[in-house]
Chain A
Amino acid sequence: DAGVIQSPRHEVTEMGQEVTLRCKPISGHNSLFWYRQTMMRGLELLIYFNNNVPIDDSGMPEDRFSAKMPNASFSTLKIQPSEPRDSAVYFCASSLTGGNTGELFFGEGSRLTVL
């Protein structure tokens, strides 16, 4: 079975440019999570969807960040405009039970570098 698929794996862009990260969760999973990982701050939850509806976006840093889940098989995380401090690895994860007892399955991450 295919796992969580993220694209691109690596992105290098210049400050001020728009960045779009994509995620395809595992088929049948009903919850999707976006995390950001940096050396300084560790693993941070940005936003959590359940049945395509955003449930908790309190971790989204600011208005430059937005996330959508138009259907059960696709989600995007957009940064506009991007800044050097957004450089990080962004992980998408999905689960079946909404995350309360089930396992989270992670993608391989998208490494973003903003120059």
Chain B
Amino acid sequence: GNSVTQMEGPVTLSEEAFLTINCTYTATGYPSLFWYVQYPGEGLQLLLKATKADDKGSNKGFEATYRKETTSFHLEKGSVQVSDSAVYFCALSPSYGQNFVFGPGTRLSVLP
């Protein structure tokens, strides 16, 4: 079946540190891949997405590249801010109208 695996959290970094959150997936076909972010007390919101192999999604300084050969979609940011503290979810959407599959989420805390 389809599944998403994320690195275990929580992740605690100092402001301006480099961030990587690993995500790997298992899916049939050619899924679209997403990173969602959830700030405290809010719903999830799309951070970035990639719909085919070698696509790079980017937003707010975050980037992730769709790597089909390694079935990965790792999230990176060069310099994190305190305001980036949130829970990050990797997700996939298989082709042919099937529903989304979310990873367990990785909690990021950025300290000033």
Contact = CB atoms under 8 A, between A and B. Distances in A.
A and B from one assembly? Answer: yes
Interface of A: 4, 33, 42-43, 45, 48, 50, 55-56, 91, 93, 98-109
Interface string B27-53: 000001010100001111110010100
A65 to B, nearest CB: 17
Looking at chain B's contact residues, is the secondary structure mostly helix, strand, loop, or mixed?
Answer: loop
A105 B49 CA distance: 13
Given A43-B89, A99-B97, A101-B32, A106 B45 contact: yes
A108 B105 CA distance: 17
B49 to A, nearest CB: 7
Given A100-B93, A100-B98, A104-B100, A91 B51 contact: no
Nearest to A109: B43
A45 B32 contact: no
A55 B45 CA distance: 23
A108 B97 contact: no
